[in-house]
Amino acid sequence: MAVTMKDVAERAGTSTAVVSYVFNDGPRGVSDRARQRVLDAAAELGYRPNRIARALRAARSGFIGVISPDSSNPYFAQLDRAVIAAIGARGSTALISHPGPAGMTDEQALRSLIGAQVDGLVMVAWEARPLRADLSQSATPIVFTHHRPDGAQGVFVAADDEHAVGLAFEHLRDDHGHEDIGFWTGPDDVGPVGRRLAAWRALRDGVGEPHRSGYTRGEARDALLQADDRSLERAIIVATDEQAIGLLAAAHLRGIRVPDELAVISLDGTSGTDCTVPSLSVVHQPIDQMAERAVSALMDGTEDELETRGALIARESCGCVTPDGASERRPRGPAG
């Protein structure tokens, strides 16, 4: 396992911030004594400063590239806004590219922004195919969030999807008594949806197959409208909010009572999920924290893979009734 700033800080008896100041030449000064302790600890442990910090020190344009999918999806739109705000708070300006099925690919967007000589890139990757080596190993530092393509080099910042699925699964099982808990996911297993599916399968000891549909509300609605009642569990964890909202619409059209006949928990927790009928129970992902950590990793030279943990917001769709719509029961929060 690679030696990190945290390891050096522990050996030197100081903070990771001080280690960062030593190897990044600021932004704050460090006493000669503390600097020497850090350098000695780094030498003992074989620590190598992160290339991201070195690259950003070398020449700054003041621009950070942001690559993210179609911002019409509330999850990506919210992550977009949070990343842009975090970049602005650091005194830089975001240059944004939105690749997608109808436009340029991730690689084309990446090549374009590298050509624009941005100081670094935050990439919200979504494509399944591996990233070309010449791009992932570019001198331009890259931090990935949401999904890191195979072969890509760079720090990865993401939500703890195993923890999120565990919160939803345990709530449905322990607090509502459901024994057969299904999973609704997309047509592929890329990025978070794949990690979430794997976590559900582990909790089911590999027994059972997920339900699948496209990622839009309409695709999920149509899939449930065509599904055989006998294939539906009494409780379902849904990979994305957009799919969950489509399922609520289909359940209404089919006369399936939520949560009495179908309990639903979604795993994004984007804004507006409290306005569905019934209100959607979610595991709220800390998107602002993910964005801040991604930008910090890029601009401060953090080396660790970073995970953030969400919190369960239990509303009506899982069976936690809130008659006035004003209160939300939060039985479990972030752990660790």
Q: What angle do CA 42, 151, 135 make, to 5 degrees?
A: 90
Of residues 179 and 28, more confidence is placed in 179
The pLDDT tens digits of the residues spanning 93-106 come to: 999 888 866 667 77
Task: Specify the pTM.
Answer: 0.76
Q: Tokens representing 187?
A: 């047509």
Say if residue 27's pLDDT is above 70. no
CB 229 within 8 Å of CB 250: no
Of residues 185 and 34, more confidence is placed in 185
Say if residue 227's pLDDT is above 80. yes
> 242 pLDDT band (50/70/90 cuts)?
very high
Angle between helices 74-89 and 287-300 (to 10 degrees): 40
Between CA 264 and CA 52 the distance in angstroms is 42
> 57 pLDDT band (50/70/90 cuts)?
low
Between CA 64 and CA 122 the distance in angstroms is 8
CB 157 within 8 Å of CB 313: no
Q: So what's the pLDDT on residue 56?
A: 54
Query: What residue type is assigned to position 227 of the chain?
Result: A
Tell me the CATH number of domain 161-286, given options 3.40.50.2300, 3.40.50.1970, 3.10.20.30, 1.10.3720.10: 3.40.50.2300
Q: Which of 281, 284, 290, 289 is nearest to 270 (CA)?
A: 284
Of residues 333 and 39, more confidence is placed in 39
Say if residue 66's pLDDT is above 90. yes
Of residues 271 and 71, more confidence is placed in 271
CB 271 within 8 Å of CB 290: no
Q: So what's the pLDDT on residue 336?
A: 38
When pLDDT is averaged across residues 304-315 and rounded to a whole number, the result is: 87
Between CA 75 and CA 6 the distance in angstroms is 31
Helices (H), the chain: 5-12, 16-24, 32-45, 51-58, 74-89, 106-115, 133-136, 161-170, 192-203, 217-226, 241-254, 287-300
When pLDDT is averaged across residues 293-301 and rounded to a whole number, the result is: 87
Say if residue 3's pLDDT is above 80. no
The pLDDT tens digits of the residues spanning 252-293 come to: 999 999 999 999 999 999 999 999 999 999 999 999 999 999
Q: So what's the pLDDT on residue 335?
A: 40
> 82 pLDDT band (50/70/90 cuts)?
very high
Query: What residue type is assigned to position 252 of the chain?
Result: H
The pLDDT tens digits of the residues spanning 95-141 come to: 988 886 666 777 788 888 888 888 889 988 766 566 665 565 567 88
| Bond into 323 cis (ω within 30) | no
Say if residue 186's pLDDT is above 90. yes
Say if residue 180's pLDDT is above 80. yes
Q: Which of 148-157, 196-205, 221-230, 236-245 has the lowest mean pLDDT?
A: 148-157
When pLDDT is averaged across residues 289-316 and rounded to a whole number, the result is: 86
CATH class of the domain whose range is 59-153:
alpha beta
